[in-house]
Structure formats: structure tokens, C-alpha cells
Amino acid sequence: MYNDVKLEKGLYNLSGKSFTTALEELDPSSAYCGTPMEKLDAFERQLKRFNIRIAGSDCDRVEKFFSSTETAVLFPEFVTRCIRKGFDETVLSSICAVKTISESSQYLGCVLDDSAEYKTSEEASVLPTATVKESPTTTILSKYGRLINASYEAVRQQRLDVFGVMLRSIGVKLAVSVVKKAVSVLETGAESISVSALTYDALAQLYGSFECFNMNTVIASPESASKIAAMEQLADTPICADGKMVLPFGSELVKTSALESNTIIGIDRNFALEFITSSNLVMETDKLIDRQLDQITVSITCGFRKITSDAVKVLKVTA
């Protein structure tokens, strides 16, 4: 049971396993089906065990994690989850078709050569061929990171929910730098349409340029997104509680500062982009456990590869 789990630093250093994965092996969530804790994962059960409240009106302060040697072991996972939550709340989830874990910083995928026309074939004739082959180019993964400098004395009295929001904001900004690479990969080599002004007709033209695939996502800069939202044809289009807008032809409008204001990218997010990473977010766990919060780094090594070129179209505004 979760009350009997021995928490120690070594749980962060098991090969091929995250801290939560290691905890789940010691305290499987399947054992709690039908109980009040069935919706909690192994880490959340440890928070409950030590009565560490990370949200709400009676939220604890950072120093609560350091009330014992065992609770201190939980702190790096709290920090990682907060940053990861901010990272995952960005547009990456709306533009990537698949996530691939690579064991090295260089990734060699495969490509599909499917240029032959799809048509009826005569009996006994050779069918048109689609060929899957090794990619001629390697995707090089890059490291994106941030140095966090926050002494324990400066943060120990800080409420965990407030501190968590600060960490989430780091995750958001880290993801924005990653998204810049994603949109660059999408734009490079994509079929482009040039227009003199950003109008609803131009968006409709972009939508109509998709043949086999659907333009279910439109990526735009904040400036362009505001112009789109202000279009007369979108006056009755509701904006969801999470700030997302779905255009009349069914495309989700995704806003990101990673894109230039004269460029709009339309994609079928189910086929366009592969997100490749050699690791999840990496933290210096030993320093966090020992309350040596100065010079803590968080980083992720990742890259992107376009999967299907026909699932990406670009609109260029020349004026």
C-alpha cells in the first residue's frame, strides 16, 4: 500500500523509468479500483499520505515538502509536473500527429513515396505503387532549456499553488521556443499561396487547396489571429472557454508568437507533423531534494519532421 512505500533518491535514477513509473511499480494504481483513491496516481497518493496540499484555500507552502527526508524526495516530481503542465498546455498538442521517443540525438525516420495516381486498374495489370523507404535525411534533435535560480530561503514560505503557476509559466515559454522549430519545419518546402491581404476569402482559398486531407488546424501569429477573429464572417463564431476558436469550415484557430505575421499555416494535424524527443523534461533532482535550488536547469531534447507534405499548406500575405 502507499503508506508502506519507501521514498528515496534512487527512484529518480532507474534506467528507462520516470519517478512516477517507479512509484507505480511499488504501488500499482490498479489496486485502488473501486476505492476513493482510484483517480489518484502513485505520486498523488504520496501527497495524500504526507498531507501535502498543493492547491486550494488551505494550500501548503514550499517548506512542507522538506519536513522530512522522504517528503523532500517528492519535490522534484512536483516541480517537473508543474513545468510539464505548462509545456503541454501550448499549441504543440494541437499541431503534432504523433510523438516519437528516440534513443539518440539523431533520428532517421521513413518517408512515403505515394505520387502515383490513384485510379482504376485493368485486370491482371500492375497496381500503382506506394513505397515506404528510409528517409534520406536525418533529423537532428536540439536541446531547449532554462536555468532556474531560486534560493530555498526565497521560496520556502511561498504557497505551492503560486509557486506552481510560476513554474507552469516557465513551461509555457519553453514550449514556445520549441514551437518555433515546429512551424519552421511545417513551412519549409510546403505548397504556398500568395495573397495581397488577409481576408476571409483568402482563408477559404487556403481551405480549398487541401485535396485528400482536411484543414482542421490554422496556425497564425497573435496579430493575424486577431484580424481573423475580427472578420465580419466570424462575428457569430463562439470562442470556447479555453480561448480556442473554430472557424466556420471546421478549422481550429491556433495562435502562437512563433509564427511571423505575414504567414498562415493550414494543416491536417492528424497527418502533418512528427514530434521527436529523446527524453521528457530533465531536472537536476539531487539538487532539488537537497534544497540547493540555485542554478537548477530544466531541459528537453527534441525535433520535428514533416510526415505528409500534402497535409500542409501555407498562406503568404504579401502586403
Return the ∠ at Cα 22 (arms to 19 and 23), rounded to 5°. Answer: 85
Say which range, 45-59, 111-125, 164-178, has the weakest mean pLDDT: 111-125
Instruction: Report the pLDDT averaged over residues 11-20.
Output: 83
Give the model's confidence band at 140: pLDDT under 50 very low, under 70 low, under 90 confident, else very high: very high
Give the model's confidence band at 281: pLDDT under 50 very low, under 70 low, under 90 confident, else very high: confident
The closest alpha carbon to 91, from 184, 204, 183, belongs to 183
- Comparing 291 with 219, the larger pLDDT belongs to 219
Helix (H) or strand (E) holding 182: helix 160-187
Sign of CA dihedral 246, 187, 112, 278: negative
In terms of phi and psi (left: phi > 0; alpha: psi -120 to 50; beta: otherwise), the region of 177 is alpha
Looking at every residue in the chain, the average pLDDT score rounds to 90
Residue 15 has pLDDT above 80, yes or no: no
pLDDT attached to residue 135 = 87
pLDDT attached to residue 143 = 93
Give the model's confidence band at 16: pLDDT under 50 very low, under 70 low, under 90 confident, else very high: confident
pLDDT attached to residue 241 = 55
Task: Report helix, strand or coil for 128.
Answer: coil
Distance in angstroms (rounded) separating the CA atoms of residues 153 and 285: 18
pLDDT attached to residue 214 = 94
Give the model's confidence band at 242: pLDDT under 50 very low, under 70 low, under 90 confident, else very high: low
User: What are 120's three cell numbers?
Assistant: 482504376
> What is the pTM assigned to this prediction?
0.84
DSSP secondary-structure letter at 126?
P
The amino acid occupying position 113 is D
Residue 259 has pLDDT above 70, yes or no: yes
Domains and CATH numbers, the chain: 1-49 (no CATH), 181-275+306-317 (3.30.2320.10)
User: What are 148's three cell numbers?
Assistant: 532556474
The closest alpha carbon to 209, from 255, 273, 274, 264, belongs to 264
